[in-house]
Structure 1
Amino acid sequence: MTPPVLHPTSAVGEVTLLARDLPRLHAFYRDLLRLTDLETGPGHVTLGVPGRPLLTLRAAPDLPTPAPGRPGLYHTAFLMPTRAELGRWLGHAARLNLRIGSGDHLVSEAFYLNDPEGNGIEVYADRPRDTWTWQNGQVRMDTLPVDAQAVFDAGEGQPYAAAPAGLTVGHVHLKVGSAAQAAQFYRDTLGLDVVSHFPGAAFLSWGGYHHHVGLNEWESRGQGRPAAPATGLHGVTFTTPDLAPLRAHLHGQEGVEDHGDALTLHDPWGNLITVRAQA
């Protein structure tokens, strides 16, 4: 039997953003999620929880802000390990006086906002997997009102003092020129399964998750690879326990670079994809 392109336990690692105002964006994410600085250097900082990088910010003060219809990041989705942690974070976010949207997606409860440079953010918690509804390989999702009070009450009034150790980037959602073309690329290149469709959108995952990658063309339909760089999304890292099947799968393909412990390539809209072997 041919092994899968990537192991079913593969997941999103970290997201890299290009920032016009690095100190401001750094402070925003540190305060929003109570992340820890894991690595700092001239013109960049990596934040996360101990042992797990989640977000790298790179200074790009000379780049323009992306136009609304430009392909790139729709949101980075930070997954809280429990509903209680999400409730504690919600209380923390309310005290920061942030404008927050929400959505009950049946598989999860989510809250949405933008960072100071317009990059989308989702903070969410999953419902138990045994409550998800699957039919013919497709998971049922929707966007309904969230009972925010119930989520807040799940936090039992406890403070959100620091990012929980189990915080991860649960998924990344991208704006693309064609959701169908993008879904084919991520399925054929990285072995993701298409697990849900909406008008102008597709959702893909490994291992029966509701989605590790979201793709939509709602604002960017028909757009190709941008001709010039801008701030916002630079790239996404995925992690996997075994790179060998992917290395064999991509052997000889143009644009693929092998760094030993990682492979890099670009999607059709120029987003850098790094697939790294888990340490």
Structure 2
Amino acid sequence: MTTATETFEMTAAPIRIDTVRLRVRDLDAVTSFYRDVLGLVPLAEAGSSVTLGTEETPLLHLDGDPSFRPRDPRQAGLFHTAFLLPSRGDLARWFGHVTETDTRLQGASDHIVSEALYLADPEGNGIEVYVDRPPSQWRDRAGDIRMATDPLDLKDLMRAAQDRTWAGFPKGGIIGHVHLQVGDTKEADRFYHDTLGLDIAATYPGASFYGSGGYHHQLAGNTWNSRGAGPRDTFEAGLGEITLGVDPSARQAIMQRLGGDRVADPWGTAFALAQ
């Protein structure tokens, strides 16, 4: 069993994901998906916007407008929003839930640092649902974070369910990271490392993973579908904005570099800084 000392304390990281905002064309359908499939709780509704999360914490904002152009999967923007569950048992129970409801999954991977399941919402916005392994297992003998994309042992995962059923997105669940599509990884490194101040925690061919406080990644950027992409279409459905939780000690330095508390990456992906 994973103990508290074997769990990364995300709130101690200087930079972390607070909330994600999506622009959607069918607000009712997408809201229902995140409620019924992920178990998020609708917390607020104002006009054409809905906020979902756990009972105590907002995680996802949806802004609905049928006039948005459908998202282009080859442009810069969202690769996936990754929902981090507190325990392996939670992931096992969620896997049982989507299996019973015939929800289509797009993949299942063992990343060494984590175990992850993948799917997409009704408008093609990518989703990862995952659980971390203990941080003591993340690094090699040289101290470098090791990541891979290996098949996930689903039978072994299901043994962690402990005969309990999925009862909705659990208390303590958060958005652990957001993986983005970018046009160029070197340009992304300059923005996410040099400007935002994140560490380059790991790299793959065509991808960089950016971490804070020793985490394997709160943000990532890849060119697997979007190599050479230019600025995003602001009237296209998809990712609207990412709000970063930032410690006061890091906030002042970041704001000095940014010139304020809002910024966009080179492709127009918007960020806001929260305290």
Compute the TM-score of the two structures, normalised by the length of structure 1: 0.90
- Within the candidate set 225, 248, 252, 1:219 is matched to 225
Runs of 4+ aligned structure 1 residues displaced above 6 Å come to: none
CA displacement at 1:191 relative to structure 2? 1.1
Q: What amino acid sits opposite 1:265 in the alignment? A: V
- Within the candidate set 167, 172, 190, 1:166 is matched to 172
- Listed one character per residue, the Cα deviations across residues 249-276 of structure 1 (whole Å, up to 9, x for unaligned) are 43385xx54xxxxx21111111110110
Give yes or no for the alignment of 1:26 onto 2:31.
yes
SS of alignment partner, residue 91 of structure 2: helix
- Within the candidate set 29, 37, 45, 2:42 is matched to 37
Residue 153 (structure 1) aligns with: 159
Compute the TM-score of the two structures, normalised by the length of structure 2: 0.91
SS of alignment partner, residue 160 of structure 1: coil
1:137–1:195 contact (8 Å) kept in structure 2: no
Distance in 2 (CA, whole Å) between partners of 1:15 and 1:136 is 34
Taking structure 1 as reference, are residues 113 and 240 closer, same or farther at Cα in structure 2, changes over 3 Å only? same
User: Gapped runs of 5+ residues in structure 1?
Assistant: 1-6, 258-262
CA displacement at 1:126 relative to structure 2? 0.6
Give yes or no for the alignment of 1:104 onto 2:110.
yes
Give yes or no for the alignment of 1:121 onto 2:119.
no
Distance in 2 (CA, whole Å) between partners of 1:252 and 1:150 is 46
Distance in 1 (CA, whole Å) between partners of 2:250 and 2:167 is 41
Distance in 2 (CA, whole Å) between partners of 1:245 and 1:120 is 29
Identity between Structure 1 and Structure 2 (%):
41
Q: What amino acid sits opposite 1:220 in the alignment? A: S
Residue 274 (structure 1) aligns with: 272
Residue 198 (structure 1) aligns with: 204
Distance in 1 (CA, whole Å) between partners of 2:158 and 2:254 is 46
Kindly report the root-mean-square deviation, in angstroms, between the aligned alpha carbons of the 2 structures: 1.6
Distance in 2 (CA, whole Å) between partners of 1:232 and 1:37 is 19
1:201–1:216 contact (8 Å) kept in structure 2: yes
Residue 140 (structure 1) aligns with: 146
Distance in 1 (CA, whole Å) between partners of 2:216 and 2:117 is 17
Higher mean C-alpha deviation, range 96-105 or range 70-79: 96-105
CA displacement at 1:50 relative to structure 2? 2.4
